[in-house]
Amino acid sequence: MKIRTAVLNDASGIGRVHVDSWRTTYQTIVPDDILNNLKYEDKTRQWQNNIEDSGQFIIVAEADGEIVGYAAAEARLINKNTYSHHLTSIYTLKEYQGKGLGRQLLHEIFRHFKKNGAASVYVEVLKDNKTKYFYEKYGAVHVRDFDLNLGSKTLKESLYVFNSVSGTLDLLTH
């Protein structure tokens, strides 16, 4: 498994992981019409724009030359806390889940946060998504829930904060 910084040519691979992982992860959470209307081409364009955005940090995980996971981060846009950052996404293909890849991606993203002086990191996760326990395992603390309108459905999204970048790195290292 190789983890590296994303380049523009990775956009289609990231788009594929984005669509496929949403369809498996959110199968019983997000309305079917949203999942069924996800298009590889749309997500490829989105990730081309994200990669070209110098304010974002995006890494990919490769296995046998194929992108099987990714993570993305940026400085937190809605920011009351100085030096806080935002873990915007971390996804892996279903067949790579539960094998430590998410932990590896999170470790690399947190190394980036530490290098860039982040004091805290926020992540938003759908309340019904079991990956919230993954974040909690590495030090994320639940802050609050809020409504998220997605298609015809209002979902609950949870905001979590990692209050110690170094503490999370310690947990990820051991």
Residue 25's CATH number: 3.40.630.30
Name the E strands within 24-152.
Answer: 56-63, 66-75, 84-92, 120-126, 140-150
Q: What is the tens place of the pLDDT at every residue in 116-157?
A: 888 899 999 999 999 999 999 999 999 999 999 988 889 999
Number of domains the chain is built from: 1
Q: Which residue has the higher pLDDT, 84 or 147?
A: 147
What pTM, to 2 d.p., does this model score? Answer: 0.93
pLDDT grade for 172, boundaries at 50, 70 and 90:
very high
What residues does 86 pair with on adjacent strands?
74, 122
Residue 79 has pLDDT above 80, yes or no: no
pLDDT given at position 150: 86
119 with 109: CB under 8 angstroms? no
Q: Which domain holds residue 104?
A: 2-173
